[in-house]
Amino acid sequence: MKYKKLLQKSFSRRAALIAGGKFVLISALISRMYYLQVIRADHYKVLSDKNRFNLRVVLPHRGQILDRWGAAIATSKPSYQLVLVPELCPDTNRTLENLNYIFPLTTFEMKRIQKEIKKTPGFIPILIKDNLSWDDAAQVSVNAPELSGVSVEVVERRFYPQKEKTGHIFGYVSPPSVQDLKKNSLLSIPGVRLGKTGIEKSHEEVLRGKPGSRQLEVDSVGRLVRELERKEAVKGKDIFVTLDIDLQRYVLEKINGESATVVVMNCQTGDVLSLASSPSFDPNKFISGFSNEEWKQLVQDTKSPLVDKTISGQYNPGSTFKMITALAALEKKAITTKTKFFCKGFIELGDSKFHCWRKHGHGACNITRALRESCDVFFYEMAKRTGIDSIANMARKFGLGDLSGIGIENEANGLIPDRKWKIKNKDQGWHLGETLISGIGQGYVLTTPLQMAVMTSRMVNGGYAVKPFLVRDNKSDSYATEGTGFPKIDISSSSMEIILKGMNQVTNHPAGTAYSSRINMYGMEMGGKTGTSQVRRIHEEEREENYPKKIKPWIERDHALFVGYAPVKNPKFVVAIVVEHGGSGSTKAAPIARDVLMEIQRRNKKYST
């Protein structure tokens, strides 16, 4: 009996311990279930949905860039790319190993992919391979069960059908930089391309559009079951530009591979019809990639094919600047149409000689003859009477020394010097000799070809401060579109008439420097001004040895310049040309201007009928 009581007591203690243990375990289980199903319910619901649903960003179609007649300059075409969505891939290492049997991945590629997986949100696809063929895309689909999280996406690839003809102006697109990604993480999505130069960059927001989204139901290996919801992307806007691609092609044919630049403008509306910089580059290469040899050749070329000379090239304008000096002198009453200076081939100032391009001089010249025959001595004397500050003020009225506002990055300001500039930048006073050489467009004076075209437009359109336009809201109907609305420059009409008379005689008077390049067709005649810009100073000893006439290395030859307009009566079109190291403006640049101005007038008649 006593033993039985002891057994019951032992059993009760053991039962209590077991019961207590069970209670603790059940309590812990209940607590855990409460935590998971009540407290953390929302969190695990999201995780559960992610195993079944996938949110994809839909990239918008990038807007096209079209010329004034609708010809494509920048467009897009479909391309296949291979991507990996980390959140749909349970074992990324295994998936990459399986993928490696289909598409061998280099060690560098593997490290890049793994690095991006760690730093990128799981729902954002990681680019594995770009520009896949149709056969490659099909092979991925066949092996989909072993490639969880991997898919082939159809994306847009930028294409530039005009190739080198428009490389500088419109630029190119490429993947976002590190700085871009810091601003917007969505830019890391494969297929996103941003404008890096030219119109592609300056109008990036307009061209890019706005992304959309897709909510997808997927199976255990990430294959699409169905689309649940879609928010459409907003396509980027198409941009019409004032450029005429056929004219651009014609201009480049006339340049014929020279290191040169040509700007063609409608002087009444400001429409830029051609911006040609040669040599150029194919922007498609920035999409497909350069070989090491191709890139090395491009960056080492002495003719600078990567530089847009139309807006970034800065040149001494030479004699094309003489109209500015003449206007400043006429407005200041420093000279009149009756003023004459005698040119004996040079002018002396102290111990220095300032030479005219014609060794034995021009004799007695008035303002019209000085412009027609480009007499340097006349402009030395005129600049001396006028002063550098007056010349600089006049130059700025005509758009020199400042950005044109055309809306392309890397546009250069040029340089119009005066006394204040010299003190501020050189910590020196201005010298009279510097006024003389500035008066003929040498020395510190620098302009871009686009600025030269703007200057000429303002001179020949009646004195209106026209500005250049490259991008229009809508397609222009014709070259004949007029009605500028630009403010009038405060210059007397009598002074402008004197300048136009001289420019007319440059091409249409037998003694004019560009008479051999005149347009003989009635109603299409052109006016203009030749220029020759020295790239190095010729010392007196070299001049005595007749160095200017010697055959020099290409890099030491003068630049050839010409600014012109047509028709002479009621001018509509202007052209500004620089042929680097081309020698004389009358023999190298003026013939190109003649052909271009004839062509643009032919096209104008065609489009206006």
Give the Cα separation of 210 and 58 in Å (integer): 9
Active site amino acids: 319
533 Cβ contact partners less than 8 Å away, ≥ 6 residues apart: 315, 316, 317, 318, 441, 442, 558, 559, 561
User: Burial, 9: exposed, middle or buried (Cβ in 10 Å; 0-12, 13-18, 19+)?
Assistant: exposed
Give the Cα separation of 347 and 342 in Å (integer): 10
Give the Cα separation of 18 and 26 in Å (integer): 12
Segments in 229-291 forming alpha helices (H): 245-255, 285-288
Question: Would you give the DSSP letter of residue 120?
Answer: S
Contact 331, 351 (CB under 8 A): no
> Would the CA dihedral through 338, 339, 341, 342 be positive or negative?
positive
Contact 598, 505 (CB under 8 A): no
Reading across the β-sheet that carries 212-218, which strands appear in turn? 53-58, 212-218, 224-231
Contact 289, 281 (CB under 8 A): no
Give the Cα separation of 434 and 67 in Å (integer): 44
- The CB density around residue 28, as the number of other CB atoms within 10 Å, is 10
Which secondary-structure segment (H or E) carries 228?
A: strand 224-231
